[in-house]
């Protein structure tokens, strides 16, 4: 069990900052996912926490103890990597026992721990096999098991599922979530896969260019993305983001772009540029959904996924995406009117990329106007 505090952590590689003054608190029992595009600094941050890489600046505190200068093996953290790195010539049992042998643990205690971990991970029947006699998923479980036997205070995982096929990934994702619940331990998990992040994390930390863009629960990240970057990175297909102008007319705040109009809430604002964001799954055919947003477009392409359709439409200058199960009847070239409810509309500042809130309950988010939403 451990609480990990990261204070101003920085890693400077020859002239460029891979991790740039990151502050983060990982609570005891959290499943924190570090999420971001390739090269954003996830692995570098994890390696600094693990003690495999010395930070250029900043501190790491685990359970109140400053461990920044402690070597990796004294931090009582376990790492699970993308490549399983099992010893090919050793049996599963010996692979599992290996970290304990290194610690010179007595054989009897070692055997008990290996048995317990094998039972936890469903490896009991495979203990005598060699890694080459296992499937990819089983090998991955042995790799996790090797971390588990040490009973570390936290688990650090770097893309542990990326070598598995899609089906196995889903199953192993579920296993990891269950394992986390059972162990009630702290997990820090690196991935660029948003599905892994959304399904397993108690807290997602979205990184871009070495900095934290947003840290929050999966719901917060999805429903209230703090920036255009987060809005565009989390969600598939990504959120529609359209440059628009906000203003007010007859006491109602509006935002419009060519082919798109939003009547937002009661109040007055000075005219200003904004970016309107709306997720494809929140755009509905306008007859069946009244709402604050109206989009007038022309269908360009439809993808039928069976359970639902993805529709690409041109609205003014923007190419938008809508996703749902009520879009089947349209053809290329059809005119279409879509709507979205007020609470599904996001506004961002085009200069800073940061979210604009109309009901500002956070000091960090600039309020465009605090006022009461008008009924749809
Ligand atoms: P990926 O998802 O591709 O693994 P990441 O988010 O984990 O990416 P990092 O591996 O942390 O990214 O790398 C962050 C940045 O630091 C990248 O630009 C990378 O090229 C650079 N970098 C990483 N390790 C080193 C190193 N040892 N020396 C110099 N630059 C490095």
Q: Is the CB of 54 under 6 A from ligand 1?
A: no
The per-residue pLDDT for 210 is 97
Superfamily of domain 240-356: Nucleic acid-binding proteins (2.40.50.140)
DSSP per position, 92-159: HHHHHHHHHHHTT--HHHHHHHHHHHHHHTT-GGGTTS-GGGS-HHHHHHHHHHHHHTT--SEEEEES
Predicted local distance difference test score (pLDDT) of residue 82: 72
- Beta strands 65-66 and 252-257 are unpaired
Third-level CATH fold of 4-233: Rossmann fold (3.40.50)
Ligand 1: atom nearest CA of 45 is 11
**Number of C-alpha atoms within 13 angstroms, CB side, residue 111?**
3
**Domain spans of the chain, in order of start:** 4-233, 240-356
- CB 36 near ligand 1, within 6 Å: yes
208 Cα–ligand 1 center, Å: 12
Would the CB of 41 count as within 6 Å of ligand 1? yes
Give the model's pLDDT for residue 358: 61
Contact 341, 292 (CB under 8 A): yes
Q: Which of 207, 242, 204, 247 is nearest to 222 (CA)?
A: 204
Q: Which atom of ligand 1 is nearest to the CA of 207?
A: 6
**What is the reported pLDDT for 374?**
43
Per-residue pLDDT tens digits of the chain, which is 376 residues long: 689 999 999 999 998 999 999 999 999 999 999 999 999 999 999 999 999 999 999 999 999 999 999 998 889 898 887 766 789 999 999 999 998 988 889 999 999 999 998 988 889 999 999 999 998 888 888 988 898 898 888 999 999 888 778 887 888 888 889 989 988 899 999 999 999 999 999 999 999 999 999 999 999 999 999 999 999 999 989 999 999 999 988 888 889 998 999 988 777 788 999 999 999 999 988 764 557 899 999 999 999 988 899 999 999 999 999 999 888 889 999 999 999 988 899 999 999 999 987 643 444 444 454 444 444 3
């Amino acid at each position: 069990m451990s609480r990990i505090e990261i204070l101003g952590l920085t890693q400077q590689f020859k002239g460029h900052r891979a991790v740039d003054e990151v502050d983060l608190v990982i609570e005891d029992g959290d499943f924190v996912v570090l999420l971001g595009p390739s090269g954003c600094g996830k692995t570098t941050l994890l390696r600094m926490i693990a003690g495999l890489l010395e930070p250029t600046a900043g501190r790491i505190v685990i359970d109140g103890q400053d461990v920044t200068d402690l070597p990796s093996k004294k931090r009582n953290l376990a790492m699970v990597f993308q490549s399983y790195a099992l010893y090919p010539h050793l049996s599963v049992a010996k692979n599992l026992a290996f970290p304990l042998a290194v610690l010179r643990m007595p054989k009897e205690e070692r055997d008990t721990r290996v048995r317990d971990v094998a039972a936890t991970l469903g490896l009991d029947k495979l203990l005598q096999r060699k890694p080459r006699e296992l499937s990819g998923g089983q090998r991955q479980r042995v790799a996790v098991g090797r971390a588990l036997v040490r009973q570390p205070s936290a688990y650090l995982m770097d893309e542990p599922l990326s070598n598995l096929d899609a089906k196995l990934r889903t199953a192993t994702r579920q296993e990891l979530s269950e394992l986390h619940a059972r162990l009630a331990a702290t997990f820090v998990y690196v991935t660029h896969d948003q599905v892994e992040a959304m399904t397993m994390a108690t807290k997602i930390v979205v990184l871009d260019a070495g900095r934290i863009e947003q840290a929050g629960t999966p719901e917060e990240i999805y429903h209230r993305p703090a920036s255009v970057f987060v809005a565009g990175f989390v969600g598939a297909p990504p959120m529609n983001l359209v440059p628009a102008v906000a203003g007010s007319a007859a006491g109602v705040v509006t935002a419009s772009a060519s082919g798109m109009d939003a009547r937002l809430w009661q109040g007055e604002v000075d005219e200003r540029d904004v970016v309107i964001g709306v997720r494809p799954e929140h755009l509905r055919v306008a007859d069946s959904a009244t709402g604050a947003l109206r989009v007038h477009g022309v269908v360009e392409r439809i993808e039928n996924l069976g359970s639902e359709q993805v529709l690409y439409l041109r609205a003014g200058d923007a190419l938008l995406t809508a996703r749902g199960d009520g879009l089947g009847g349209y053809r290329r070239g059809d005119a279409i009117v879509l709507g979205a409810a007020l609470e599904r509309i996001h506004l961002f500042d085009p200069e800073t990329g940061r979210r604009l809130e109309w009901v500002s309950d956070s000091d960090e988010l600039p309020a465009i106007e605090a006022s009461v939403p008008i009924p749809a």
